[in-house]
């Protein structure tokens, strides 16, 4: 009839509507021959549809339909109602006959309340059900197929079908029962059943982290419902939801509400040892158990057509499930005590452990502190700490530290109180700090540590106490040293022997002993350098280092070591280091020394002492045509002693005390003794060549002199021919530098460097030429051995005594910086002792009592107002630029000195800087003051030397003297006939001698003058003193008055202040004193620019 009443397309669409649950409010009438219902259309419209079974005129039945939809008849809505009549229970049936006899009201009430379903009907009947479909494992599951690698249960909601006992999925979904966003309507389901299904859907959303707007899948994986799924399924069944194994003719679903547990059975193994069998404690039954979820939430098992499910207790987690899957295994008998002590207690907290008959579980015993100690070389001890539990033969070894979180600690059987008591036996962090580590919870014992040196000594002292304790096990390997303190004072022994490698050097031996123990010198020096208080010897003896002589020994050894070419070389000294040896003798006992060493050193150390040199004093040559003053005779004997010992030295007598004569006497003595087999070379500034020749001719006419005042290229005479037969060869620094190769090709009995400050720059070519001269000895003559810094002194000593301080950088670090920068008085005193045998200096005040006094005065001269305005304007303009340059003194030195030179010239006369701009604007007040002074002096019969650094300013003075009609002599670096100019002044009566500081600051004797004017101060006071001493020297019979003319409130006043700070550098090293300054620094330069 349906086929005849509706076309095929209508039938298909109508059936889909019915399966989709679009038919509601179904009513049957006329004994089931008429049906009416509401049908939900494709939109939001709801149509009323009626279907009736009618009899036609031919008595054949047919279906008649009527609908409120636009089609009206034979529509898909009518087909849906026909299908609904077959599959749905009607909402109401009209026209039924009432019962013949109605039950009492009370009975009807209780029947509804107490009605119970028939046995077995709960699982297969009801208005809604859930199929628990077991899907077999997927061989190669996709990444998103959670749990598909094993059998799994999928949950699908169903409703009864048209055929009895058959359930269909049409008309219901999880989307509907979850009340999801996309659910258009709800099937009429009992509230309790709906709530149960909704609870399952909600649990799935939580378990799968599903978004609230996501569509629910058709089937839910039971593994993703969560741990409470057994309770949810039981609740659903109680609400009338049928639990099914399949949609048709399935078996029963059995829910075990008692959870399963993790069980481990321990039984004796037949082959020995202990058999471990893990399992899950589940109800008995056939079939394979499948675990649901990761982590596990339950289990299921097929029992024929039936399905049995159940949950797990909290002891069954992922680790437990995998442990069970792994299966049983055997613990060897030897490992059973370790397992029983270490693992079993923790296992008993994790699982139900059933220990079967025949197994003995060891009792937990008190801990023992265990120490493995290995003594190694160089007083090293390697320690390893642990705790031992159980039998001594097969203990359970656990670390000293415990897990701060007890729940994670696998060593639950440990006794923390007993362990803490044992740790108190270990020397604490105050006694042996290396044993302990400071952590956030306090001091913790290091489980493995290596002790060194006195850490080992301290621990070895505490070790017997540990070994005596019953609960401490100490296992020792290696030889334990017998440590002991030696309280006897150390003994230092020194000695020298002739070096086999170098004839002029001696091997130095130093031994230190304490009691019967010899102390390694290298270890001693290292310990002292590290400022350690004790020293541990290789044999275990130790002693304190609080002995002053040991600290002095360290300094002396380091000094001696610095003299060697390599640190690995043995200690050696030459006679030059007599001062160092003398200090060694003060702190030690001389056990052995070379006779040659003793003779030379004693001679040097005896100079200037009451004991004398120990050698016969040198006799002044009878051929000397002069009578030496006492101090000159001492100087001659000092030079002769050095000559005899083959050593050089620095004769640093004050200017004007006759250094030239003392050298001439020494040369004459050498000739008389037949020792002047090779000529003596005299190197001097050009200005004093004539002085040397004249002094030799005057005082030692027996000495033959050759003068080399031109280079060999100009003279066109070979050096061998030029000096043939000469006893003394006199040349200049310039010639010696240019002809350095020629001078190195000739052997010299001695080299004498006059005005030796010319070689103070050890990086200059002149210095290199002088140092390479092949002379047996070298003497340096200078009244100013130190001008700017101690490196000036090093330059001289490196030439006359090459081995005394061999390396300039080391000298700077050991001596110059501590003395100049830090004012280290102790280092200064040591340096003076070192150089004392090789430097002789006498001042005029000390040895020339008959020399008239010298009066020095500063004359302050105020600038002319116009001059002042020009100077201040220039200073303001240049000051900031100069201060910027001073930040890099070395890099900008030339620019700085040039700018300062301009400032000094500005203070004298602005025309010196720019004659066109400033010429004639203002007169020089200093020139006016000078002319006034010399006019008065000339009238009184005095004569004056006038010095300036600037020849331009001397020209200004010349013009002013000529204008005043004052006679004068003039000398600068360009003057021809220098000797004649000097002679004319000395033999004439000109009251004024104008001299440039550079040209006439040395090598001249001008005792005819008794007044000296220094027109412009220079920061090197030694240069000024040299100039002044042209007049104040031997032969002067009058008092000498010195006037330093300084322009007020100019850079000149700053220069004078700088002079005073630098002047004591010379006094401290060469003379005596208490303070010390350094060479010119950036701070000095800034001071020059202060307003």
* Domain regions of the chain by residue span: 2-93, 121-250, 257-299+311-360, 368-477, 484-605, 630-847, 854-1088
Output the pLDDT for position 784: 77
The structure's pTM equals 0.48
Q: Which whole number is the average pLDDT over 118-139?
A: 67
Q: Tokens 């249960």 map to which residue?
A: 153
Tokens for 471?
């609960």
Name the CATH superfamily housing domain 630-847. Tandem AAA-ATPase domain (3.40.50.10810)
Separation CA 600–CA 577 (nearest Å)? 11
Write out the two tokens for 422.
Answer: 């044992």
Task: Give yes or no for a cis peptide into 295 (omega within 30° of 0).
Answer: yes
195 three-class SS = helix
Q: What is the mean pLDDT of residues 663-676?
A: 94
Q: Which of 257, 249, 193 has the alpha carbon at shortest distance from 229? A: 257
Residue 644 has pLDDT above 60, yes or no: yes
Q: Do domains 630-847 and 854-1088 have the same CATH topology?
A: yes
Percent of the chain with pLDDT over 70: 81
Are 619 and 593 contacting, i.e. CB atoms less than 8 angstroms apart?
no
Q: Tell me the fold of 854-1088.
A: Rossmann fold (3.40.50)
For the stretch 17-29, pLDDT in tens is: 888 778 888 888 8
pLDDT of residue 1079: 46
Average pLDDT over every residue of 195-211: 85
Tokens 């069980």 appear where? 263
* pLDDT at residue number 92: 57
Q: Which residue has the higher pLDDT, 223 or 688?
A: 223
Highest mean pLDDT among 55-69, 190-204, 597-611: 190-204
Higher pLDDT, 503 or 860: 860
- For 369-422, give the DSSP string: EEEEEEEETTTEEEEEEEEEES-SSSPEEE-SS--SSGGG-S-TT--HHHHHHH
Cβ atoms of 543 and 485 closer than 8 Å:
yes
Residue 275 confidence (pLDDT): 93
Q: What is the DSSP string of 117-184?
A: PPTTHHHH-SS-EEEEEEEPPPSS--TTSTTTTS-EEEEEEEEE-SSTTBEE-TT--HHHHTT-TT--
Q: What is the rounded average pLDDT of the residues 614-638?
A: 85
Mean pLDDT is highest, among 282-286, 462-466, 739-743, for 739-743
**174 is written with which tokens?**
């999880």
- What is the average per-residue pLDDT within 749-764? 88
Tens digits of residue pLDDT in 867-903: 999 988 888 887 777 777 777 767 777 787 788 888 8
pLDDT score, position 642: 87
The dihedral formed by the CA atoms of 486, 492, 498 and 500, expressed in degrees to the nearest 10: 30
Which pair of structure tokens corresponds to residue 181? 């966003």
Residue 1048 CB neighbours (<10 A): 13
Using DSSP's 3-state secondary structure scheme, residue 614 falls into: coil
Q: How confident is the model at residue 624 (pLDDT cuts 50, 70, 90)?
A: very high
Mean pLDDT score of the chain:
81
pLDDT of residue 86: 80
Angle ∠(474,478,481) on CA atoms, nearest 5? 95
922-974: pLDDT as tens digits: 788 999 999 988 998 888 889 999 999 899 999 999 999 999 999 999 998 88
Q: How many whole angstroms separate alpha carbon 788 and alpha carbon 1013?
A: 23
pLDDT tens digits for 776-819?
999 999 887 776 678 888 888 888 887 777 677 777 877 778 88
Q: Are 597 and 506 a contacting pair, CB within 8 Å?
A: yes
Closest CA to 242 of 137, 362, 124: 124
Contact 281, 261 (CB under 8 A): yes
Residue 204 has pLDDT above 70, yes or no: yes
pLDDT at 19: 82
- Reported as a pLDDT band with limits 50, 70 and 90, residue 100 is very low
Query: In this predicted structure, what is the pLDDT of residue 34?
Result: 86
Ordered DSSP codes for 965-984: T--EEEE-TT-S-HHHHHHH
- Dist CA 875 CA 5 (whole Å): 125
């Amino acid at each position: 009839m349906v086929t005849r009443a509706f076309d095929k397309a209508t039938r298909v669409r109508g059936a889909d509507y019915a399966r989709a649950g679009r038919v509601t409010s179904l009513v049957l009438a006329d004994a089931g021959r008429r049906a009416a219902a509401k049908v939900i259309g494709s939109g939001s419209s709801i149509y009323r549809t009626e279907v009736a079974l009618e009899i036609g005129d031919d008595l054949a039945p047919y279906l008649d339909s009527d609908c409120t939809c636009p089609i009206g008849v034979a529509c898909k809505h009518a087909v849906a109602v026909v299908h609904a009549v077959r599959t749905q229970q009607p909402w109401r049936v009209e026209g039924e006959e009432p019962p013949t006899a109605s039950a009492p009201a009370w009975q009807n009430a209780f029947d509804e309340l107490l009605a119970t379903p028939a046995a077995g009907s709960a699982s297969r009947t009801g208005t809604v059900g859930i199929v628990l479909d077991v899907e077999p494992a997927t061989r190669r599951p996709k990444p998103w197929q959670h749990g598909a690698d094993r059998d799994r249960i999928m949950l699908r909601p169903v409703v009864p079908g048209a055929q009895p006992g058959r359930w269909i999925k049409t008309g219901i979904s999880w989307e509907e029962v979850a009340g999801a966003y996309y659910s258009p309507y709800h099937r009429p389901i009992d509230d309790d059943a709906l709530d149960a299904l909704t609870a399952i859907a909600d649990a799935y959303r939580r378990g799968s982290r599903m978004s609230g707007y996501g569509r629910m899948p058709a089937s839910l994986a039971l593994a993703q419902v969560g741990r409470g799924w057994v309770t949810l399924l039981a609740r659903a069944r109680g609400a009338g939801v049928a639990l099914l194994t399949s949609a048709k003719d399935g078996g029963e679903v059995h829910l075990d509400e008692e959870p399963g547990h993790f069980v481990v059975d321990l039984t004796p193994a037949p082959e020995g040892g202990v058999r471990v069998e893990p399992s899950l404690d589940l109800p008995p039954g056939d079939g394979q158990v499948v675990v649901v979820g990761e982590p596990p939430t339950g289990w299921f098992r097929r029992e024929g057509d039936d399905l049995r499910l159940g949950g797990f207790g909290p002891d069954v987690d992922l680790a437990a499930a995998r442990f069970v899957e792994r299966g049983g295994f055997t613990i060897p008998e030897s490992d059973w005590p370790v397992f029983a002590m270490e693992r079993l207690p923790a296992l008993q907290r994790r699982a139900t452990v059933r220990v079967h008959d025949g197994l003995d579980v060891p009792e937990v015993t008190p801990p023992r502190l265990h120490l493995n100690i290995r003594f190694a070389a160089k007083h090293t001890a390697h320690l390893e700490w642990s705790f031992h539990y159980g039998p001594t033969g097969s203990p359970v070894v656990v670390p000293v530290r415990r897990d701060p979180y007890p729940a994670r600690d696998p060593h639950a059987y440990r006794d923390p109180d007993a362990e803490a008591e044992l740790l108190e036996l270990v020397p604490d962090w105050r006694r042996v700090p290396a044993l302990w580590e400071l952590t956030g919870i306090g001091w913790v014992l290091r489980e493995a540590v290596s002790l060194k040196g006195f850490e080992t000594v301290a621990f070895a002292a505490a070790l017997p106490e540990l070994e005596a304790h019953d609960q401490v096990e100490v296992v020792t390997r290696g030889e334990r040293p017998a440590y002991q303190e030696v309280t006897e004072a150390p003994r230092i022994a020194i000695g020298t022997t002739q070096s086999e490698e170098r004839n002029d050097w001696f091997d130095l031996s130093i031994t230190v002993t304490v009691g019967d123990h010899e102390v390694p010198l290298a270890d001693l020096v290292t310990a002292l350098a590290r400022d350690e208080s004790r020293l541990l010897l290789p044999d275990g003896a130790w002693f304190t280092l609080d002995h002053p002589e040991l600290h002095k020994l360290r300094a002396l050894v380091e000094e001696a070591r610095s003299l060697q070419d390599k640190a690995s070389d043995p200690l050696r000294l030459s006679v030059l280091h007599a001062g160092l040896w003398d200090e060694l003798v003060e702190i030690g006992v001389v056990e052995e020394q070379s006779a040659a060493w003793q003779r030379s050193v004693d001679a040097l150390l005896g100079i200037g002492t009451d004991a004398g040199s120990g050698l016969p004093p040198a006799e002044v040559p009878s051929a000397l045509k002069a009578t030496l003053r006492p101090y000159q005779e001492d100087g001659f004997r000092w030079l002769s002693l050095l000559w005899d010992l083959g050593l050089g030295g620095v004769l640093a007598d004050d200017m004007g005390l006759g250094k030239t004569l003392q050298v001439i006497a020494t040369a004459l003595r050498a000739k008389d003794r037949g020792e002047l087999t090779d000529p003596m070379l005299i190197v001097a500034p050009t200005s004093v060549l004539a002085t040397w020749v004249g002094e030799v001719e005057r005082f030692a006419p027996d000495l033959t002199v050759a003068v080399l005042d031109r280079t060999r290229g100009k003279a066109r005479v070979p050096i061998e021919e030029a000096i043939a037969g000469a006893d003394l060869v006199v040349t200049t620094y310039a010639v010696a530098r240019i002809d350095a190769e020629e001078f190195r090709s000739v052997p010299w009995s001695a080299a004498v460097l006059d005005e030796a400050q010319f070689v103070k720059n050890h990086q200059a070519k002149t210095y290199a030429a002088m140092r390479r001269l092949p002379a047996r000895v070298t003497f340096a003559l200078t009244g100013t051995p130190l001008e700017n810094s101690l490196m000036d002194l090093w330059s001289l000593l490196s030439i006359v005594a090459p081995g005394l301080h061999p390396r300039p950088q080391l000298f700077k670090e050991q001596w110059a910086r501590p003395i100049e920068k830090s004012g280290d008085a102790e280092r200064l005193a040591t340096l003076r002792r070192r150089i004392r045998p090789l430097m002789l200096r006498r001042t005029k005040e000390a040895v020339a009592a008959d020399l008239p006094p010298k009066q020095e005065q500063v004359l302050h001269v105020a600038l002319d107002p116009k001059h002042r305005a020009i100077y201040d304007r220039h200073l303001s303009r240049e000051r900031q630029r100069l201060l910027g340059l001073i930040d890099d003194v070395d890099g900008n030195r030339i620019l700085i000195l040039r700018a300062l030179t301009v400032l000094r010239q500005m203070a004298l006369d602005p025309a010196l800087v720019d004659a066109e701009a400033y010429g004639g604007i203002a007169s020089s007040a200093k020139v006016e003051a000078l002319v006034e002074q010399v006019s008065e002096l000339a009238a009184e019969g005095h004569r004056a030397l006038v010095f300036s650094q600037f020849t331009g300013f001397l020209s200004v003075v010349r013009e002013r003297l000529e204008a005043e009609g004052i006679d004068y002599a003039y000398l600068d670096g360009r003057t021809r006939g220098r000797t004649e100019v000097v002679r004319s002044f000395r033999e004439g009566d000109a009251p004024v001698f104008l001299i440039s500081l550079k040209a006439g600051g040395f090598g001249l004797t001008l005792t005819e003058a008794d007044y000296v004017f220094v027109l412009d101060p220079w920061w090197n006071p030694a240069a000024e003193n040299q100039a002044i001493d042209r007049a104040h020297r031997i032969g002067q019979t009058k008092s000498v008055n010195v006037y330093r003319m300084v322009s007020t409130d100019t850079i000149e006043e700053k220069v004078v202040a700088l002079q005073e700070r630098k002047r004591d550098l010379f006094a401290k090293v060469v003379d005596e004193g208490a303070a010390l300054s350094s060479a010119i620094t950036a701070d000095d330069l800034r001071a020059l620019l202060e307003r």
